[in-house]
Amino acid sequence: MEFPTITPGSAPSPGSSREGPGQCVHASCAENFPQFPVACCLACFLNMFANTSESSDDSHSTQTRVRRSKVWEYFEQNLVKADDGFKAVCKYCQIRLSTKSGTSSLMTHISHHCHAIGEADRKRFVATLKKPIENFVFDPQFCRQRMIEFVIHAEIPFNKFEDPYFEPWVQSMQPTLDGVSRQTVRNDCLKKYQRMKQDLQNELQTLDCHVCLTSDKWTSIQNLGYLVITAHYITTDFKIKKKIISFKEVKYPHTGFAIEETLVSCLTEWGIRNKLFTLTVDNASNNTSACEELVYTHKHELMLEGAHLHVRCCAHILNILVQDGMKIIHEGIKKIRELLKHIVSSPSRIQAFNQIAMVNGLPTKCGIALNIPNRWNSTFRMVREALKYKVVLNSYANQNAEIAPNEQEWTKAQSICEFLETFEEATKAVSADRKPTSYMFLPLILSIKDALDNPAWQTSTVLEELAAAMRIKFEKYWGSDIDDPNQHNARRKKKDYDINLGIVIATLLDPRGKGEYVEFFYQKICKNTDQIHTCVNTALVWMKKYFVEYEQRVRRADAYSRAYTSKASDTVGSPVLAKRQLGQEFANFKSSRRKTRAPKSEIDMYFEEDCVEDIENFDILAWWKAHAEKFPVLSTMARDFLAIPLSTVPSESTFSLGGRILGESRSSLTLEMLEALVC
Q: Give the helix ranges, DSSP H, for 95-237.
A: 104-108, 119-129, 140-154, 166-173, 182-205
DSSP structure class, residue 251: P
Rounded CA-CA distance 623/77 in Å is 63
428 and 453: one domain?
yes
Give per-residue pLDDT as tens, 485-507: 444 444 444 444 468 999 999 99
348 and 464: one domain?
yes
Query: Is 8 a member of any domain?
Result: yes
Lowest mean pLDDT across 100-114, 125-139, 263-277, 596-610: 125-139
186 and 91: one domain?
no
Per-residue confidence at 50, pLDDT binned at 50, 70, 90? very low
Give per-residue pLDDT as tens, 330-383: 777 888 888 988 888 888 998 999 999 999 988 888 777 777 666 777 888 888
Query: Is 102 a member of any domain?
Result: yes
Give per-residue pLDDT as tens, 240-283: 999 989 988 888 888 989 999 999 999 999 999 999 999 999 88
Question: Which one is predicted more confidently, 211 or 557?
Answer: 211
Query: Is 360 a member of any domain?
Result: yes
Query: Is 161 a member of any domain?
Result: yes
Last residue of a domain, one of 452, 469, 486: 469
Query: Is 357 a member of any domain?
Result: yes
Report the chain's mean pLDDT, rounded to a whole number. Answer: 79
Last residue of a domain, one of 411, 439, 469: 469
What is the SS3 assignment for 650? coil
Rounded CA-CA distance 102/107 in Å is 10
Domain containing 423: what range? 316-469
Can you name the residues that pair with 387 across neighbouring β-strands? none
Q: What is the mean pLDDT of residues 179-183?
A: 85
pLDDT above 50 (res 5): no
pLDDT above 90 (res 308): yes
Rounded to 5 degrees, what angle do the CA atoms 395, 397, 402 make?
170
Query: Is 369 a member of any domain?
Result: yes
pLDDT on residue 589: 67
75 and 180: one domain?
no
74 and 104: one domain?
yes
Can you name the residues that pair with 228 across neighbouring β-strands? 216, 247
pLDDT above 50 (res 676): yes
349 and 461: one domain?
yes
Query: Is 554 a member of any domain?
Result: no
pLDDT on residue 114: 82
Can you name the residues that pair with 234 across neighbouring β-strands? 240
pLDDT on residue 240: 93
pLDDT above 80 (res 124): no
pLDDT above 90 (res 47): no
Query: Is 280 a member of any domain?
Result: no
**Are the CB atoms for 455 and 306 separated by under 8 Å?**
no
pLDDT above 80 (res 37): no
429 and 371: one domain?
yes
370 and 442: one domain?
yes
Residue of 529, 528, 514, 542 whose CA lies nearest to 610: 514
Last residue of a domain, one of 406, 438, 469: 469
434 and 459: one domain?
yes
Give per-residue pLDDT as tens, 607-630: 999 999 988 889 999 999 999 999
Residue of 391, 395, 387 whose CA lies nearest to 418: 387
Per-residue confidence at 480, pLDDT binned at 50, 70, 90? low
DSSP structure class, residue 610: P
Please report, rounded to a whole number, the percentage of residues in the chain having pLDDT higher than 90. 27
Domain count, the chain: 4
Rounded CA-CA distance 199/598 in Å is 46
Alpha-carbon torsion, ordered 159, 161, 167, 172, to 10 deg: 130
8 and 46: one domain?
yes
12 and 113: one domain?
no
Q: What is the mean pLDDT of residues 151-178?
A: 86
Rounded CA-CA distance 418/615 in Å is 26
381 and 426: one domain?
yes
- Of 134-143, 168-177, 208-217, 659-668, highest mean pLDDT: 208-217
Alpha-carbon torsion, ordered 304, 307, 309, 311, to 10 deg: -150
pTM as predicted: 0.70
Can you name the residues that pair with 246 across neighbouring β-strands? 229
In Å, the largest CA–CA distance within the chain is 119
